A and B are shown apart, each in its own frame.
Chain A
Amino acid sequence: MRAEGLFTIALAGGLLAVALIAFAAGETFTITLATKVAIFAMAGIGLNLALGQGGLVSFGHAAFFGLGGYAVGILSSHAQNYDPLTEWPFLIEGTTFMPVLWLVAVIVAGLAALAIGAISLRTTGVYFIMITLAFAQMIYYFAISWPAYGGEDGLSIYVRNGFPGVNTLDPLSFFLLVFAVLAAVILLAWRLKASRFGLVLEAARQNALRVTSAGITPYRVRLVAFVISAMITGLAGALYADLNRFVSPAMLSWHTSGEIMIFVILGGVGRLGGPVAGAALFVLLEHFLGGLTEHWLLFLGLALLAVVLFARGGLAGFVLKGRGHG
Chain B
Amino acid sequence: MADPVLQLSGVTRSFGALVASDKVDLDLVSGEIHALIGPNGAGKTTLIKQVVGEILPDAGTIRFHGEDITQAPPARRALAGLARTFQISALAPEFSALENVMVAVAPRAGGVFHFFRSAQRDSALVQPAMAALRRAGLENRAHVPVTGLSHGERRQLEIAIALAMQPKVFLMDEPMAGMGPDGSQRLTRLLSELKAEAPILLVEHDMDAVFALADRISVMVYGRIVATGTADEIRTNALVREAYLGDAA
Chain B residue at minimum C-beta to C-beta distance from A214: B104
Category for how many chain B residues contact A: 35 or more
Q: Write out the residue numbers on chain A whose beta carbons fall within 8 Å of the beta carbon of B102.
A: 199
Contact indicator B96/A195 (Cβ below 8 Å): no
User: Contact: A195 with B103, CB < 8 Å?
Assistant: no
Which of B92, B106, B118 touches A206 (beta carbons < 8 Å)? B92
Contact A195/B94 with A203-B103, A214-B165, A215-B79 known, Cβ cut-off 8 Å? no
- Are B95 and A216 in contact, CB atoms less than 8 angstroms apart? no
Q: How far is the CA of A221 from the CA of B106 in the complex (A)?
A: 13
Give B46-80 as 1s and 0s: 1 = Cβ < 8 Å from A's Cβ atoms.
Answer: 00000010100000000000000000011110110
B-facing mask of A193-221, CB < 8 A → 1, else 0? Answer: 01111111011001101111111110001
Distance (Å) between the CB of B99 and the closest chain A CB?
Answer: 6
Which residues between 74 and 123 of chain B lie within 8 Å of chain A, taking CB atoms? 74-76, 78-79, 84, 86, 90-96, 99-100, 102-104, 106-108, 112-120, 122
A13 interface residue, CB < 8 Å from B? no
Asked if A323 lies at the interface with its beta carbon under 8 angstroms from chain B, I say no
Q: How far is the CA of A210 from the CA of B101 in the complex (A)?
A: 11
Contact check, B78 vs A194: say whether CB atoms are below 8 A apart.
no
Beta-carbon contacts of A98-141 to B below 8 Å, as 1s and 0s?
00000000000000000000000000000000000000000000
Whether B106 pairs with A216 at a CB distance below 8 angstroms is yes
B201 interface residue per 8 A CB criterion: no
Give the distance in Å from the alpha carbon of A221 to the alpha carbon of B114 in the complex.
Answer: 11
In the complex, the answer to whether A326 meets B99 with C-beta atoms within 8 Å is yes
Bound form: Cα–Cα A192–B99 in Å:
16
Alpha-carbon distance A45/B91, docked complex (angstroms) = 27
Tell me if B145 is interfacial: C-beta within 8 Å of chain A. yes
Point out the residue from B94, B122, B125 that lies within 8 Å of A202, measured CB to CB: B94
CB distance from B184 to the nearest CB of A (A): 24
In the complex, which residues of chain B have a beta carbon less than 8 angstroms from the beta carbon of A211? Answer: 103
Chain A nearest Cβ from B226, distance in angstroms: 29
**Count of A-B residue pairs with CB < 8 Å:** 103
Cβ of A304 < 8 Å from any Cβ of B? no
| Given A199-B102, A326-B99, A213-B74 contact (CB < 8 Å) | yes
Map CB proximity to B onto A180-194 as digits: 1 under 8 Å, 0 otherwise.
000000000001101
| A224 on the B face (CB < 8 A) | yes
B42 within 8 Å of A (CB atoms): no
Query: Please, which residue of chain A has its CB at the minimum distance from the CB of B101?
Result: A214
Minimal Cβ-Cβ distance residue in B for A201: B112
Q: Are A195 and B73 in touch, CB under 8 angstroms? A: no
Nearest A-chain residue to B75, judged by Cβ? A217
Q: Is the CB of B93 within 8 A of A194?
A: no
Expressed in whole angstroms, the Cα–Cα distance for A196 and B93 within the complex equals 18
Whether the Cβ atoms of B92 and A203 lie closer than 8 Å is yes
User: Are A194 and B118 within 8 A (Cβ)?
Assistant: yes
Pick from B99, B116, B161: contact of A195, CB below 8 A. B116
Cβ of A255 under 8 Å from chain B? no
Q: A196-B122, A213-B84, A324-B145 are in contact. Are A207 and B107 (CB under 8 A)?
A: no
Q: A195-B116, A199-B119 are in contact. Are A212 and B78 (CB under 8 A)?
A: yes
A38 to B114, CA, bound (A): 28
A192 adjacent to B94 (CB under 8 Å): no
Residues of B within 8 A of A224 (CB): 113
Chain A residues closer than 8 Å to B96, beta-carbon distance: 326
Query: CB-CB < 8 A to B52: which residues of A?
Result: 213
Give min CB distance, B109 to chain A, whole Å.
9
* Distance to closest chain A CB from B183 (angstroms): 22
Chain A 49-87 against B: per-residue CB contact (8 Å), 1 yes, 0 no?
000000000000000000000000000000000000000
Find out whether the CB atom of B94 lies under 8 angstroms from the CB atom of A324. Answer: yes
Most buried by B among A194, A199, A211, A221: A199
Q: CA A167 – CA B145 in complex, angstroms?
A: 50
Nearest-neighbor residue (CB-CB) of B52 within chain A? A213
CB distance from B120 to the nearest CB of A (A): 7
Cβ contact of A210, chosen from B91, B107, B120, B122, cutoff 8 A: B91
CA of A93 to CA of B218, assembled, Å:
73
A195 contact set on B, CB distance < 8 A: 114-119
Which residues of chain B are within 8 angstroms of A198 by Cβ–Cβ distance?
119
How far in angstroms is the closest Cβ of chain A from B53?
Answer: 9
In the complex, are the beta carbons of A197 and B74 less than 8 A apart? Answer: no
What's the least CB distance linking A184 to chain B, in Å? 13
A221-B112 in contact (CB<8A)? yes
B95/A326 in contact, CB under 8 A: yes
Q: Cβ of A324: which chain B residues have Cβ within 8 Å of it? A: 94, 145
Measured CA separation A194–B73 after assembly (Å): 29
Given contacts A191-B116, A195-B116, A196-B125, 11 further A-B contacts (CB under 8 A): A195-B117, A197-B112, A197-B113, A199-B99, A199-B119, A200-B112, A202-B95, A203-B92, A206-B95, A209-B90, A216-B107
Closest 5 CB pairs of A and B: A215-B79, A215-B78, A206-B92, A196-B114, A214-B104
